[in-house]
């Protein structure tokens, strides 16, 4: 891990939804890390004012690049700039990758249960990508809660993984608007229980999203009998 700030250049951008985009950053030297880690970005205004925000790594692109996916918040200070203004060729100060707890690598035993609320899918996507690349035989499930079909990140790739990898089950839950025939509503305890591996399978569980989402889901899983030591969480704020 790099503790010092370094300058990375935006080498590509890609829209994920109307309000979220993936930024590919190129570093001067090799950059490496594991799924689940994040980096810190530091922006400096002309008057010297600085803002620092954390963003999970969505993908590692060896040897010198990685990808982040940022969702714009209406009243946000930094995310609208990253989503609407930043362009290919621009430079950013970056520190990291950071984090050793909320990480998963394919050598980890046990079924893999991923649960995302909104942009919380980003580090879980890095885990799923790693699972696919390693052709892992570990069964994996992703429960992904989003507002509507238009809010789904990585749609095409998730469809491919869900269809082609027999070890992976992808379950998207819609809170405000759903495709035809699918139920709509906030994620419930019952829906989480039904979608997840049961406690007797002893899954390792990763939950990521807003603080309220993460705390509610983690409490339901402990209620269901999952061992709290096997539940890892990442809170994005809000």
Interface characters, 40-59, with ligand FAD (x: CB under 6 A) = -------------xxxx---
Give min distance, CB of 138 to ligand FAD, in A.
24
Distance of CA 205 to CAs 57, 103, 146, Å?
18, 11, 19
Q: CB-wise, 83 or 138, nearer to ligand FAD?
A: 83
Does residue 210 bind ligand FAD (CB under 6 A)? yes
User: In the complex, what is the shortest distance from the CB of residue 151 to ligand FAD, in angstroms, rounded to a whole number?
Assistant: 12
Looking at beta carbons only, is 68 or 114 nearer to ligand FAD? 68
- Residue of 25, 59, 70, 172 that binds ligand FAD (CB under 6 A): 70
Half-sphere exposure of 113 (CA within 13 A, CB side): 22
Closest CB to ligand FAD among residues 167, 210 = 210
Report the residue from 76, 110, 139, 149 that binds ligand FAD according to the rule CB under 6 A. Answer: 76
Site of interaction with ligand FAD (CB under 6 A)? 38, 53-56, 68-71, 73, 75-79, 119, 122, 210, 234, 236-238
């Amino acid at each position: 891990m790099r503790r010092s700030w370094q300058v990375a250049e935006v080498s590509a951008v890609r829209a994920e939804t109307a309000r979220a985009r993936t930024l590919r950053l190129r570093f001067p030297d090799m950059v490496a890390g594991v799924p689940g880690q994040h980096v810190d970005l530091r922006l400096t205004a002309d008057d010297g004012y600085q803002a620092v925000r954390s963003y999970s790594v969505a993908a590692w692109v060896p040897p010198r690049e990685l990808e982040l996916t940022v969702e714009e918040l209406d009243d946000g200070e930094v995310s609208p700039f990253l989503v609407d203004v930043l362009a290919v060729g621009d430079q950013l100060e970056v520190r990291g990758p950071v984090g050793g707890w909320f990480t998963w690598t394919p050598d980890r035993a046990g079924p893999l249960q991923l649960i995302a609320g909104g942009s919380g899918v980003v580090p879980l996507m890095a885990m799923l990508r790693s699972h696919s690349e390693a052709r892992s035989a570990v069964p994996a499930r992703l429960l992904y809660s989003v507002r509507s079909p238009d809010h789904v990140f990585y749609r095409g790739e998730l469809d491919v993984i869900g269809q082609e990898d027999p070890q992976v089950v992808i379950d998207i839950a819609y809170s405000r608007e759903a495709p035809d025939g699918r139920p709509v509503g906030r994620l419930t305890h019952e829906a989480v229980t039904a979608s997840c591996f049961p406690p007797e399978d002893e899954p390792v569980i990763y939950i990521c999203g807003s603080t309220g989402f993460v705390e509610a889901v983690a409490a339901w899983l402990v209620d269901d009998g999952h061992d709290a030591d096997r539940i890892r969480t990442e809170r994005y704020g809000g």
